[in-house]
Amino acid sequence: VRFPEDLEDDSTTFNPEYSHQVFGDDEVAFGYKGLKILLYYIAGNLSTLFRIEYTSKVNEKFDCVEADDVESKIREIIPPGFCTNTDDFVSLLEKEVNFKPFGMLLHTYSVHNEEAGEDITYQIYKADMTCPGFREYHERLQTFLMWFIETASFIDVDDERWNYFLVFEKYNKDGATLFATVGYMTVYNYYVYPDKTRPRVSQMLILPPFQGEGHGAQLLETVHRYYMSSPTVLDITAEDPSENYVKLRDFVHVKLCQDLLCFSPGKLMQGFSQEMVMEAQQKLKINKQHTRRVYEILRLRATDMGDAEQSRSYRLDVKRRLIGPYKKKQRELAKMRRCLRPEELTNQLNQIDLNMQHEQLEESFQQLVSDYRRVLERLAQA
């Protein structure tokens, strides 16, 4: 909500992707007809208005069943101090002009908005719990995780090893410059013996109204650039990354790596090298596993897949990596031959069908190439 009229504007509304963490695996609220759970957030500081509406509700006295206590379930995840009255919320909205982003400005960029017919400015900040008001703001911000990340959990904000990176949009209201929350990322700094840290991305969320505009890539690249300047950072990882996050990370890593000398077309065609691993880690804080994906994507770009020899060479190179788990199975099978009785061995052999393995390998390769091509298409448009 930026303006009072937004409260009545359904076009600014977005629905949760998940609700199982609040309402159970069936995602059902029992006992209501026409139930609406309404959560409004002021665009900048995320002050909250919470209302429940319904046309009817089961009555324990007459229906002998009790409706779910929806209000209590929501109160468990939104911090105290929220409004239940629209007038109170609108009076808070009038004070929004005083809201300023928290922490240190890291990056400013603009995105052209077709609808508005102009470039809109965005800024990325790094904050921590010592910033006045940030702790309370973060409590409100993290409530979105429950609706948009499948296995979300709230973090221990008293642990000083957390870093917070925030994206804001700058907009004008009655001649003043205001800020709207776009998304954020939390990063935990793990200790690596003897004197390094390994930042690990824990949660990353771009709010639905801003998705598909490139903010995730801007945020991840800014975070990489922030840590790149630190000699004590070994590399950057992610906790249980989603499929979409992996695609985003591939794009950002390739964008960062493509100008390194070790990824020049001539060197790519010679195969994956230790030089690539060292340079990507030392200069860009990208680890070996992710560097290998960067190599495969950039080598695909440098390969003429219409040329039989080049295509075969690329396919074999990628499949040599993909075949790792299958080779492990073969080693296990060799051990079984020495240890198992014939009937037990037959049972195990049935589970390790070589033809099926080849089919799965080819399927994995085709899927990977498809994903890599999408990264390269996005890179060409960047």
* Catalytic site positions: 239
Dihedral pair phi/psi, residue 185, rounded to 5°: -140, 140
Alpha carbon distance 245, 263 (integer Å): 23
Kind plus residue range of the DSSP H or E element containing 121: strand 118-127
Alpha carbon distance 349, 279 (integer Å): 43
Strands 237-238 and 196-206: parallel
Count CB neighbours of 217 within 10 A: 17
Which residues, 6+ apart, have CB-to-CB distance to 79 below 8 Å?
136, 139, 140, 143
The sign of the CA dihedral 251, 256, 258, 262 is negative
* DSSP label of 83: B
User: Can you tell me which residue has the tokens 């007459």?
Assistant: 62
221 to 162, 248, 294: CA distances (angstroms): 18, 10, 15
Q: How many residues does the chain have?
A: 382
> 212 in the Ramachandran plot: left (φ > 0), alpha (ψ -120 to 50) or beta?
left
Helix (H) and strand (E) counts in the chain: 15, 10
Count CB neighbours of 381 within 10 A: 6
Which residues, 6+ apart, have CB-to-CB distance to 313 below 8 Å?
303
Question: Is the peptide bond preceding residue 241 cis, with omega within 30 degrees of 0?
Answer: no
User: Can you tell me which residue has the tokens 């994906």?
Assistant: 293
Alpha carbon distance 330, 334 (integer Å): 6
CA 236 to chain CA mean position, Å? 14
